[in-house]
A and B are shown apart, each in its own frame.
Chain A
């Protein structure tokens, strides 16, 4: 079997046992990129030379018998809103088309310390705003399972690259479902960690209070391994939690006996396709067979979550993206008359429609006279949603829902209807609003397109999520199925 088809944990063990070299793995992945990237379009930048150089280094270390991290020599690709020193970090925006950060994000520092092999930077919705990766300034990424369909977003490249075998693992970011939705659409495993568990330093902010970086992989243990490497307190991120984390991969087990799995009725209602409902409920029955206890629950404020999410995230975005003003870095309009004109032209030309829409919305909800009616109410709703989750977790260990109401849609299908586009986030935004961890795992197909199930946990309850997913994964004989790209 070609090396790119293995999971990261398998390759990790093979490297340790000298069954293959990092250069071989890296070459296999790079060849795969050469083969399918034209069709899939996962990457904004492929760092081929850098990857091979790093792989050679790791092989030398292995040859010397140095003790290395589990991730040493593993090709990992990075969403293009995570700063990589010396490598363009564009947020898939014209605004940052040529932006090369002089610093690394903390997660990149951590991966460097693990000797990861940097494959490149992944396409995304512009500034992570979108659910389909169609708002990228550069290209539209395709769903490897059906090239006419979107991969989901905003971490579309992060999911498609893993799904298509163009990398072993990837990092995405999730503000309202941006890891889980594309993971679901592309049939891979994606974790949105507890807010504050992964440093946001160097993640180009969309909505600071909701953003989290997280791993995407083709197996639960792959995701557990990458999550272990990136989580932890960072003094550069004041909001990062001060606590110790276990080795999530080492602690994986399939014992879910007695675990109570809550099924919130609001997530299985109107708007969710029958096939998706059925697949997720089938998954729950499988877990029940393994000794889990199913429990119907209610999260009544769910219907309002999307509104609260779009108000809070747009408000923060309007402020976070104000720094892209043409003064210091990034795009600047070439023809302008004075400062205000420079600002207006730069931002009009540098941002795409979706980004402008969110900036306008965010500016509006923070404006004097509207703050109380929108932003303040959304924050109150946030408290209520969090409280409902807390209550729910008094009675259950994991909450199971669909990740998205339906499978991947066709490219262009929703681009003229923002509200319909926003509706694909309906199952995922609540989790960010409440700061909880959630995992999306494949649980079936509809018309050859993957269906995803979402497991939501208590704060810092990632191990329980991973174990539940691991139990199901073991039952179905693994998630790692790279589709034929046609």
Chain B
């Protein structure tokens, strides 16, 4: 049996989060009442004309910079012609042979290793509407709200060799889109969608197999499943002496399989030609470089740095970076230089994440700041307060304009770690509990718990438990 390697290329469509649509001034907002966010222009009424929203170009160029692309300072828009009821002009304005950005790459972390995946091109285009079906109505209905929502299509090179690489690539693309405020990337709203090209190649060779395109892959986890399914299907076809044909298949995630949509012979001829209603896009060099200068450290680079410099695990680093809010809190708290980055990560992934999930609030919507968090963790790390007290302080920090220290003092949460002070208390408690000491010595180990409890009680719960235990054992040893 021959061994095969998977070869994957991805086409990601991301809706841009501009205020208005790409070719008219309609709102670009999801989830509003059907056919209320459209006008004669985005509905393609006769005689109307498109005018390009410059913000779309700006965001696409930023993405191009982030993915190390060269920017085509002179480029055009083209018409892609096909009939479908959700496409009111019967053509989509897109870019054909001269995209805004091309020849880039992105570095992603896969199993602890950095991998470079090529980006063929990024182009701008308009989204289509949506077909709706109702049981009360025989036929289909069209919602034009999505018509003219700006999209960028990011096309990767066939550099991806496994489903986990595909996932890492998609995570990186999504994180960058969010960091640069280009797209909200809300999967459930369809604001980021994916077409998957899969072929297989005999191991040890570099001859690509025939590729199959899969449409309608609506989540990143579905991409993983779709790739694995399709690769296995192709291997099976070859192992049974069959041949892979170039075709488009539709992924059905519920059933976990894909079905033939159209073969190469039935492929559309989109009859692309330059859009005569729009001028050539000409970008000044200064404009392009200004956009480049606005790009700060990207999330994929952050992940690598957090693992390398702070000793975080890859999964922890990815989880923190995945949320802009958490990542900012992490980096701001680290830069306070008061406590260890690992403790900060633990807090963010533990109590803070839990709070955000439960309350549906962002940290920025609470009174917690990076200074307060750093102080809190410092108090715990230095043993000044207990973990349990720390959690109490945290709850208060979220709601009040006080520092961690102020709350500790106010609530008397300071832990007693002073050995002399604790020894005095231990001596007193122990001398009143001779029986328990004897019990312990006779093998009743749970007597130690009782004694610790008594001592803790005597410190009003502020004794450092580790130290207390140490001093109790020392007392028993000596008596």
Q: Measuring CB to CB, which residues of chain A are less than 8 angstroms from any residue of chain B?
A: 81-83, 89, 91, 96, 99, 101-103, 105, 200-205, 207-209, 235-239, 315-316, 318-319, 322-325, 327-329, 339, 343, 363, 366-368, 371, 375
Contact = CB atoms under 8 A, between A and B. Distances in A.
A103 B45 contact: yes
Contacts, number: 102
A202 B49 CA distance: 8
A99 B88 CA distance: 16
Given A235-B51, A363-B271, A367-B269, A322 B278 contact: no
A101 B44 CA distance: 12
A53 to B, nearest CB: 25
A236 B49 contact: yes
Nearest to A328: B88
Contact of A367 (B79, B271, B277): B271
A319 B79 contact: yes
A322 B81 contact: yes
B52 A238 contact: yes
Interface of A is mostly: loop
B40 interface: yes
B287 interface: no
A205 B277 CA distance: 10
A105, A323, A325: most-surrounded residue (chain B CB, <10 A):
A323
B48 A238 contact: no
A315 B91 CA distance: 13
B46 interface: yes
Interface in B19-62: 40, 43-52
9 contacts: A82-B47, A89-B46, A101-B40, A200-B49, A204-B47, A319-B81, A323-B89, A339-B85, A366-B273
B88 A238 contact: no
Given A83-B46, A319-B271, A363-B271, A238 B91 contact: no
B352 interface: no
Contact of A96 (B44, B46, B51, B278): B46
Interface residues on B, range: 20 to 34
Given A339-B85, A366-B81, A375 B49 contact: no
Given A83-B47, A323-B90, A366-B271, A208 B83 contact: no
B279 interface: yes
B277 A101 contact: no
A184 B161 CA distance: 68
Nearest to A322: B90
A82 B46 CA distance: 10
B276 interface: yes
Interface string B396-420: 0000000000000000000000000
A126 to B, nearest CB: 13
Given A208-B277, A366-B273, A236 B90 contact: no
B46 A101 contact: yes
B286 to A, nearest CB: 20
B142 interface: yes
Contacts of A371: 271, 273
Contacts of B44: 323, 328
Nearest to A104: B47
A323 B88 contact: yes
B49 A237 contact: yes
Contacts of A81: 47
Given A105-B47, A238-B50, A327-B142, A322 B91 contact: yes
B194 to A, nearest CB: 26
Interface in B347-405: none
A327 B51 contact: no
A21 B85 CA distance: 51
Contacts of B272: 366
Nearest to A362: B271
A25 B400 CA distance: 79
Contacts of B50: 238
A203 B46 CA distance: 8
Nearest to B40: A103
Contacts of B52: 238
Given A101-B46, A322-B83, 16 more contacts: A91-B46, A103-B40, A103-B45, A203-B47, A204-B46, A207-B276, A235-B51, A239-B276, A239-B277, A239-B278, A319-B79, A319-B271, A322-B90, A323-B44, A323-B90, A366-B81
Nearest to B41: A236
A210 B460 CA distance: 89
